Amino acid sequence: MQISPEIKEYLETAGFAILPVRFDLGRGEEVVLLVKATRDILAQLKKTGAKARTGWQVRQTAHGPVVCLLLGITGGEGCELLGESYLDPVDDSDFELLTLLSNQKALKAALYDEEMELVWAVDALWNDLAQLAAEQAVDRAEELAQRAVQEGLELDFARACEAFGSEMPLERMREVLFTDTEI
């Protein structure tokens, strides 16, 4: 996978990140989740044969709509990686990315360490139910984006993400989206 210089620079400066990015891996364009974490955590997850799962939250805030993609990767011995990525459904490129993602038959996460070395690639659980949840997220995001524009809402995606994070902290999202104890 060839990562663009801009994305690589962003990931190099981030301590931890989950970033959905378009790639053509030989089967046409698809979205891959680029994940940056510490080598220790990634090695432990790989060693335990960790499983990855996604979940979605779509919310309207006072500053505009937000789509949040939650990624949880859990292995044995209590090893877990949990994080989110935000998409702006009013932004055409984010909405296209979201739509592309919802139409995929599979979802890969490429896990990179602090040195931007690929440690592991894992397939996320992406069955019919997961794909349906993604499709519903797209529908809801489109509805909220249209409403925000029609109502003349003063859109500020950064502030919308902050409001979303205050309203729905990561651990609360985990409880809501991953109701069973095992990912």
* Residue range 20-59, pLDDT digits in tens: 999 987 888 999 999 999 999 999 999 998 989 999 999 9
Q: For residue 100, name the pLDDT band (cuts at 50, 70, 90).
A: very high
Query: Distance (Å, rounded) from C-alpha 15 to C-alpha 165?
Result: 18
Q: Is residue 65 part of a domain?
A: yes
pLDDT band at 2 (very low <50, low <70, confident <90, very high): confident
137 inside domain: yes
- Is the C-alpha dihedral spanning 81, 60, 88, 108 positive or negative? positive
Q: Residue 176 phi/psi, 5° resolution?
A: -75, -45
Q: Is 86 a member of any domain?
A: yes
Domain count of the fold of the chain: 1
Beta-sheet pairing, 51-61 with 64-74? antiparallel
Look at residue 181 and tell me if it is in a domain.
no
On whether residue 19 sits in a domain, the answer given is: yes
In a domain, 182, yes or no: no
**Can you give the pTM of this predicted structure?**
0.90
58/47 Cα distance (integer angstroms): 33
Q: Is 148 exposed, middle or buried (0-12, 13-18, 19+ CB in 10 A)?
A: buried
Q: Which domain holds residue 142?
A: 5-172
From edge to edge, which strands make up the β-sheet containing 80-87?
51-61, 64-74, 80-87
Alpha-carbon gap, residue 9 to 174, rounded angstroms: 29
Is 180 inside any structural domain?
Answer: no
On whether residue 177 sits in a domain, the answer given is no
48-65 residue pLDDT tens: 989 899 999 999 999 999
